[in-house]
Chains A and B, each alone.
Chain A
C-alpha cells in the first residue's frame, strides 16, 4: 500500500518539475564553475556526481537528479490516462526521452575514451586510456623483447600488498596520487629510499583543468628481494628517469603510465596533412593518412575532421597533432561506446512524438478563438 502511494507520488509531473528546476540550477552553477575548474572537473563535481557537497550539506548531484527523472519518466508510462489516442504524441515523446536517458546511463558506465599517438612512419596497435593508469613491470632479460606485466589501477589501493610470480619480492602501496609533482626530499624518517625517491618526494597537487595534464604518482615499498633493492620507490607518470629492480635472475623496469589496450589491428601513420585557408594561418582541414594493418592485409585509410574511422566497436577521430622540426605526430581520439546509437534512435522517436502532438495541439493554440480550432 505504502509502496503504491510512493510510486504514485513519484510518477507525478511535479517530480519532473522539481528535478527540472534543480537541473537548471546545477547546469548554471556547473557551467560558470567551468571557467575556474575546467570542463572535466566541473563535470565530475556537478554533472556526473551522485551528491554535491556544499560544506557538510549533501545536495543531489546531476546523476541522482537524472536517476530520479528516469524513475519518474518510467512510472509515468504506467498511467492509464496516458494510453489514449489523443495522448499518443505525448506517450511517444516521453518514451523517446526515456531511451535517451538509458543511452546516457550506458555511456556513463560502459564507454571508454583513450588516445592513440602515432609519429609519422610509426605503427601503433594500442590505445592509451585517458582516465585509467597502470603500473608496468618490464622484464628486460630477454634478448629481443621485454616481458610486460601490467598491474591495473584498481589494484593499486593505498595499503594493499601486491605479490605475483612476475613481481620480484612484494610491493606495498604507500601512496597513490591522481596528480602530483616531484619536489626535493625533505623528510628522511622512513627510509631507505631507492631510485628517484632518494632525492625527491612526490607532492600531491590539485587536479589540472585538462585530464591529460595530470601526472599520477605512486609510492611503493618493495620488500623481500635483498638489501640493495628493498626500500621505498616513487614513480610518476612521464618521468624521464627509468627505475629498475633486480633480484639476481632478472632486471625489471618500473613504469607508471596510462593503461594500454591492445587492438587486434594496428595503424601506421603515412602522412599527416594540415591545409590552411589560402593566404592565412587558419586551418581549413587536418587529416591523417594511415595504413590499417589487419592480419596479413593492409589498407589505406584517411581519418579527418568529421570523418572518423569506425572499426571493431571503436571510433578513431582526428583530435590533435604535434609538429616537430621534421616529424609530424597525429593524435587520434579513440572512443568505445555501447550507448552510441541511443541518441539517434530516441531523437527520431521524440521527433515523431512531438510532431504528432504539435499537429494535434498547435492549430488550436495559435488560433485566436477556441471555437475556430474545434470547427
Chain B
C-alpha cells in the first residue's frame, strides 16, 4: 500500500504543537524580511535608475522604461551580461558598443529571410545590422505599417513589430543626442567666445543656450567671401554644419524626462529636443537638462558613481518646484520592486515547498512537512508583499487588469491553502497552496511578457469604489473556486486508488462542499457588486454582457452542484467531477470571454490564449471523466 499524506501515522500531536512556534517565528521572519528589504532600499540616495520618465500616461523610473523597452526587442528584461539600465544608458550616451551589441531577437526565421539578414541559430542581431536591413526594405515596411492591424498576417505583424522596436531604440538614442558633448573647438579665440577651453567638448544644448553668441559669430562671416575665410571662420562653418547634422534629431520624442510646467494643460512631459528651441527655460527644465547632460557624460566615461551622485540634487529641485512634495519615493519603490522581483522569489518558494512536500511522503515526514509549510508561508509573504508594493506604487486596488487578477487569484489560492493547512496540519493545504501559487504565477508571467504590467486604465475603470470591491471579490471567488476544483482532483484521485479510503473520502467530500460554499459566497457577491457598479456607471444592473454572463455561469454552476446534492442527484463523486469542470467554467469566464471580443468588458485580448485555454479544458474534461469512472469502478468492486 502506498504511503499517504492522510495517514494518521503522519500526524503527531507533539510536532503539531511545536510546529506552531516554528511557524509563528517563520512568519514573523518572512514579514520582517520583506519590510527590511523595503526600508533598506528606500534609505540612502536615489540613483540613475530612479530618474523619472513619462511613458504610457504615467511617470515611471527610467529603470522600468528600460526593462520594458528591452523586453520588447530582446524578449527578456535583461541581457546576459548587463542590466537593462546599463544598456539603456549605453544607448542614450550613444556609446559605440551599443551598435554592435546583439539585442534584437527576431522571433521567427521568416523575418530573417524577409529582411535578408544573415541566418543565425539564435536569431540575435545588432542595431547596426537591423537598421541597415530595415533601411533597405523601408518602403515595404512602411506599406505594412499603413495596413490595419487585422489585415496583417502573422509574419507581417512581426515585421512591423521588429521595425517599430528598432525605431524605438533609435528614438531613445536620438532623443538624447542634443545633450551629448561631441563638439570641440580648436581655435582658442573662438572657444573663448563660447566660454570654452580649446578642445573642450560641448553639446548641442550648450550652444543652443548661447544662441546669441552663435548668431553673432555666424554674422561675422556672412559678409566675407569664401576665399577670405581664415582658420577661425572655417571652424565656424564646420561647427554650424555639425550642429545642423545633429539637429536632424529635432523631432525625436522618445524620452519624456523633463517635467511638465505647472501651467501645462495636458500635463505632458517633454523630451530634451523639445526644449532646444525654447527661448527661456524654467529653472527646473534647465536643471533637468544639465543633470542629464552630466549623467550622460559620466556614463560615457564609465563613471557610474559620479552619475548616481547627480540624481539626489535633481529630486530636490523637483520637490522644491512641487511645494515640497517628494517625487522619488514611488519611483524608488518601483525600482526596488523590479529589482527584487518578489514574484520570482515567491514562485521559487512555492515550487520548493511542493518538492519538499513530495519528498516528505518518502522520508522524514514531519520535518520536511514543516519545511514545506515554512516555504509556503515565505511564498505567501513575498507574494502578498509584492501585491502590496504594487498597490503602493500605483495607488489603486490590487486588481484592475487581467495580469493583476491572475496574480491576485494565485495569492488567494495560496492563502486559502495556508489557512486549510493551519487548521488541518496534514499536508493537504500545502498541496493546494503551493500548486495554486506556482501555477497561477506562471500564467501571470506569460501575461507580463506583454510589457509594462502597470499600465494606465481606460476611463470607466478609473477609480471607483464599486469596481474595486467588485473585482477583488470576484477574483477571490475565482481563487476559492479553483481551490475547490483542486480538492475535486484530489478526491477523485484518492477514490480511484486501491484500498479503503472511506474516512479520508468523507472528510474530503465535506471539504469540497465547504469550499464550494465559500467560493459561491464570493462569486455571487462579486457578480452582484459588478451589477451594482454597472448600474452606477451605465445605468443598468445587468446587460447580458459576455463577462457578466461568464460570472453568472460560475454562480449557476456552483448553485447547480449544491442543489443537485440536495435533490439527491449528485453524490460526492459527481460533486468532485463537477468541481473539476467548474475550473473550466472559471477559466472560460476569466479568459475565454475576452476571446469573443464583444461587449464592454473585452479589455484583455491575447492571441495565444485560445490554444492554451482549449488545452486546459480538454485536460480537465479528461481528468474529471477519467477520474469519475475509475472511482466508480473502484467503488463498485470490493476492495
Contacts and interface: CB of A to CB of B under 8 A. Distances in A.
Interface in B53-67: 54-58
Interface string A12-38: 111011001101100110111011001
A315 B539 contact: yes
B430 interface: no
Given A39-B598, A354-B521, A285 B549 contact: no
A107 B534 CA distance: 14
Given A278-B260, A305-B459, A27 B553 contact: yes
Interface residues of B, number: 70
Interface in B317-361: none
Contacts of A357: 517
Given A20-B559, A347-B529, A351-B525, A368 B424 contact: yes
Given A17-B564, A21-B560, A39 B544 contact: yes
Contacts of A27: 549, 552-553, 556
B625 interface: no
Interface string A236-274: 000000000000000000000000000000000000000
Contacts of A365: 510-511, 513-515, 517
A113 B542 CA distance: 13
A46 to B, nearest CB: 8
Given A39-B598, A367-B424, A368-B426, A278 B524 contact: no
A345 to B, nearest CB: 11
**Most chain A CB inside 10 Å of its own CB: which residue of B56, B266, B524, B549:** B549
Nearest to A343: B541
A31 B593 contact: yes
B524 to A, nearest CB: 7
A157 B354 CA distance: 70
Nearest to B566: A13
A32 B458 CA distance: 25
A343 B543 CA distance: 14
B82 interface: no
Contacts of A305: 459-460, 462, 537
Contacts, number: 184
A333 B567 contact: no
B464 interface: yes
Interface in A30-54: 30-32, 34-35, 38-39, 42-43, 47
B420 interface: yes
B423 A366 contact: yes
Given A277-B58, A357-B517, A364-B510, A24 B598 contact: no
Given A305-B460, A343-B535, A17 B560 contact: yes
Contacts of A100: 528
A132 to B, nearest CB: 17
Interface in B373-398: none
B402 interface: no
Interface in A263-294: 276-280, 282-286
B268 A278 contact: yes
A212 to B, nearest CB: 15
Interface in B553-598: 553, 556-557, 559-560, 563-564, 566-569, 593, 596-598
B57 A277 contact: yes
Range for the number of chain A residues in contact with chain B: 35 or more
B528 A343 contact: yes
Nearest to B464: A306
B537 A317 contact: yes
Interface in B528-552: 528-529, 531-532, 535-546, 549-550, 552
A277 B456 contact: yes
A340 B541 contact: yes
A339 B426 CA distance: 49
A68 interface: no
A337 B463 CA distance: 25
Contacts of A370: 506-507, 510
Interface in B585-619: 593, 596-599
A14 B569 CA distance: 8
A28 B553 contact: yes
Contacts of A282: 57, 456, 458
A34 B598 contact: yes
A208 interface: no
B539 A17 contact: no
B475 to A, nearest CB: 17
Given A17-B563, A343-B541, A31 B550 contact: yes
B267 interface: yes
Interface of B: 54-58, 256, 260, 266-269, 420, 423-424, 426, 456, 458-460, 462-464, 506-507, 510-511, 513-515, 517-518, 520-521, 524-525, 528-529, 531-532, 535-546, 549-550, 552-553, 556-557, 559-560, 563-564, 566-569, 593, 596-599
14 contacts: A16-B567, A20-B563, A21-B560, A31-B553, A34-B546, A35-B596, A42-B544, A103-B541, A276-B266, A278-B57, A315-B539, A319-B538, A343-B535, A343-B541
Interface of A: 12-14, 16-17, 20-21, 23-24, 27-28, 30-32, 34-35, 38-39, 42-43, 47, 100, 103-104, 107, 113, 276-280, 282-286, 305-306, 308, 315, 317, 319, 333-335, 337, 339-340, 343-344, 346-347, 350-351, 354-355, 357-358, 361-362, 364-370
Given A279-B56, A306-B460, A358-B517, 11 more contacts: A17-B567, A24-B553, A27-B556, A38-B598, A39-B599, A335-B540, A337-B539, A340-B541, A361-B514, A362-B517, A368-B426
